[in-house]
Amino acid sequence: MLASLVLLLSTVTLSVTAFSNTVYLIRHGEKPSDGSNGLSAQGEERAQCLTNVFGPSSGFNIGDILAETPKSDGSRERPVETVTPLAEELGLTVDTSCDRDDQDCVADAVKAFAKKSSKNILICWEHDNLHDIAKALGVKNAPDYPDDAFNIIWTLQNQKIVSQTSENCPGLDD
């Protein structure tokens, strides 16, 4: 009886987190050195670069973009500012329905999109939360995103981080 229950729970867990879309996780662009809100000039350059990295001719086949909900006081805007030029280029609206600390909301949004589309998903977030988002998407032993990096793309497939690559933005990631 116990073995049957364990098997049933394992199956339910797999079906809840399983999806075939590739998910790309990135950190928001660089922030101003004075701690103010928004992106620095380098961060704005990175946002423009992402139109080349993930744009229509890139082969990434992005169909959904998620970024954390900005606060009304202007804070937490960097993720959405980072991906807005790309979203405009792709004709998409950035989904900002999930709060910064709500990784379950992010996982639910990914699964909901995956039910209706085979296109891939880009998630841009504050780096401290990318580990928890990866775990919510089924990644066991997800690493921490490096504090000093703004250019790393985590590629998730079948509940695993299958690669960590650079965005290779000229002048930023040389």
Amino acid letter for position 168 = N
For the cut 70, the answer to whether the pLDDT of residue 169 exceeds it is: yes
- Inter-residue contact 50 to 27 (CB < 8 Å): no
Q: What is the predicted pLDDT for the residue at 8?
A: 38
Answer yes or no: is pLDDT of 14 > 50. Answer: no
- Average pLDDT along the chain: 91
Q: What are residue 67's DSSP bridge partners?
A: 124
Task: Please tell me the predicted confidence (pLDDT) of residue 3.
Answer: 47
Contact 47, 29 (CB under 8 A): yes
Residue with tokens 């009886």: 1
Q: Which CATH superfamily is domain 20-166 in?
A: Phosphoglycerate mutase-like (3.40.50.1240)
CA–CA gap between residue 117 and residue 149 (Å, rounded): 31
DSSP label at 142?
A: P
167: left (phi over 0), alpha (psi -120 to 50) or beta: alpha
Residues pairing with 155 in the sheet:
24, 163
Within 13 A of 88's CA, how many CA atoms are on the CB side? 8
pTM for the model: 0.89
The band of 6, judged by pLDDT with boundaries at 50, 70 and 90, is very low
Q: What is the structure's pLDDT at 2?
A: 44
Residue 73 confidence (pLDDT): 84
Q: What pLDDT, in 10s, does the model give residues 29-49?
A: 999 999 889 999 999 999 999
Q: How far apart are CA 69 and CA 96, in angstroms?
A: 5
- pLDDT for 16-26, tens place per residue? 457 899 999 99
Mean pLDDT of 136-159: 96
- Per cent of the chain over pLDDT 70 is 90
- 79-92 residue pLDDT tens: 999 999 999 999 99
